[in-house]
Structure 1
Amino acid sequence: MAIITELFYLPPIEYFAAIWDEDVIYLDLEENYQKQTYRNRTQVQLANKTETLSVPVIGGNKKIRTSQIKIDHDQKWLNVHLRGIQSAYGKAPYFEYYFPYFEKVYTKKFDLLADMNLDLLTVCLKMLQSKISVQKLDQCMPNGGNKDIRGLINAKKSYQERSIYKAIPYQQLFGLDFVPNLSIIDLLFCMGPESKSILTQSQKND
């Protein structure tokens, strides 16, 4: 089974619930880039709030293909993201085990957002021990038989409006109330190998 999706930055848990049972992910990198989406932003949980980490891009307000969007390294975002992740999850049970893999991606300082996002997605799937194959969507390929969720996972709307993900609480570091659908790194750093089980339970089968 195969699914067609966009390429997101450290995607939310909902994204992984959507792709979890698939054999192949086809990533559409030739779509027109859209601002204020999961393509360049992710959410993590700090001590007092949920924080959105955004990767600054060049020319994101024009009709540019996702594959051509460049990261704006003139803005000092990289240290902000690394410090933010360390502040949020430095004391998480599996942080020391997983973080070096993510840090290695950041130190490459990619020119293109899609290249960095693809590397990070690959790391996430590896940490989840997933055998899903990741491929770039060929515009000539037939869509017959492939599930297409492009445009469905919208950062501006609640996951509750969609039939993809149901919140399965797990032990987070901060706060008394469980915060659902954060970046997949929240689940990985907090739950480690148990993340696979949480993802399976999080799938909404309406």
Structure 2
Amino acid sequence: MPESGKKVAILQSSYIPWKGYFDLINSVDEFVLYDCVQYTDRDWRNRNRIKTPNGLQWLTIPVHAPYLEKLSVSEVKVLNQKPLWQEKHWKSLVANYSKAPYFELYRQTFEDLYLKTEFEYLSQVNEAFIQTICDILDIKTCIRNWQEFEISGDKNERLVNICKQAGASVYLSGPAAQAYLKEEAFAAAGIKVEWMNYNGYPDYPQFFPPFVHEVSILDLLFQTGANAKDYMLSFSGRNNNIRNNKVSN
């Protein structure tokens, strides 16, 4: 039987995700990195955006091109040809954020990740950055990998089965899943579905107007430091970021 009140979210990994990704993690008891799903090119799996004087800039991790459409996220390898993508990304972050109020506070942490850590697979990159950022934000959610579970069934059955194995009574989903998620499948297993609502983020001091919410959370960290939680939805007793019914965005 599901544990009373245990809330779980299941989502594929992303590269230095936006703040909403971490609000989702912080809103559950257990978060499952779901990298057994098919890799999608030109998506958030291997890239994200930062602010620059010339507008938004993509930081993209190069990956092996052949047969990507047949690979799961966990099977995708990063390309480490010279110059290393890690060096290029770090230089871009230094160039655009070195004057941010809290860049130096986190400089060593991210410099070590970019310049002193070797990665073979994209999932390894994403998980390392996600866990590091969770530590910075003091997010205590248990993060597990899909490989710890028996994966079986169709798209919905897989999610239900993971929730059951995790002992969840509540499944928290991002709003994008409204297009395919069948709540009745969860209800049949005694699992309630809730939906994350990303409306209502406050602006924070940000370089290079106009303000944009949909950038890597590194932007928020470098600009606000320990105050980053004040600009997120899952901290400071804000409980209105979750809806029991589907939302429009």
Q: Give the structure with higher Rg (CA).
A: 2
Looking at structure 1, the residues matched to 88 and 61 of structure 2 have their Cα atoms a distance apart, in angstroms, of 10
Looking at structure 1, the residues matched to 197 and 35 of structure 2 have their Cα atoms a distance apart, in angstroms, of 24
Contact kept in structure 2, 1:18 and 1:164, CA below 8 Å: no
Matched, 1:172 2:206: yes
Poorly superposed stretches of 4+, deviation over 4 Å: 150-153
The 3-state SS of whatever aligns with 1:62 is helix
Structure 1 match to 2:73: 66
Equivalent residue for 2:233, pick from 196, 200, 203: 200
Looking at structure 2, the residues matched to 179 and 42 of structure 1 have their Cα atoms a distance apart, in angstroms, of 13
Matched, 1:110 2:119: yes
Contact kept in structure 2, 1:4 and 1:150, CA below 8 Å: no
Deviations 1:141-200 (A, max 9, x none): 4435332449649xxxxxxxx84243310001223x322121010011111111112112
The 3-state SS of whatever aligns with 1:146 is strand
Structure showing greater relative contact order (alpha-carbon pairs closer than 8 Å, 6 or more residues apart): 1
* Aligned pairs, number: 197
The 3-state SS of whatever aligns with 2:109 is helix
Let me know the Cα RMSD of the aligned residues.
Answer: 2.3
Q: Which amino acid aligns with 1:37?
A: D
Deviations 1:68-95 (A, max 9, x none): 1100112532222111111121111111
- 1:48, CA displacement in angstroms? 2.3
Identity level (%): 25
Gap regions ≥5 residues in structure 1: 154-161
The 3-state SS of whatever aligns with 1:57 is coil
Equivalent residue for 1:89, pick from 91, 97, 118: 97
Contact kept in structure 2, 1:17 and 1:165, CA below 8 Å: no
C-alpha distance 68-150 of structure 1, shift in aligned 2 (>3 A): farther
Deviates more, 1:144-153 or 1:36-45: 144-153
Q: Which amino acid aligns with 1:169?
A: D
Contact kept in structure 1, 2:28 and 2:172, CA below 8 Å: no
- 1:62, CA displacement in angstroms? 2.6
Looking at structure 1, the residues matched to 123 and 176 of structure 2 have their Cα atoms a distance apart, in angstroms, of 17
Gap regions ≥5 residues in structure 2: 1-6, 152-160, 165-169, 179-195, 244-249
Structure 2 match to 1:79: 87
Matched, 1:100 2:125: no
Contact kept in structure 2, 1:10 and 1:117, CA below 8 Å: yes
Looking at structure 2, the residues matched to 125 and 94 of structure 1 have their Cα atoms a distance apart, in angstroms, of 17
| TM-score (normalised: structure 2) | 0.72
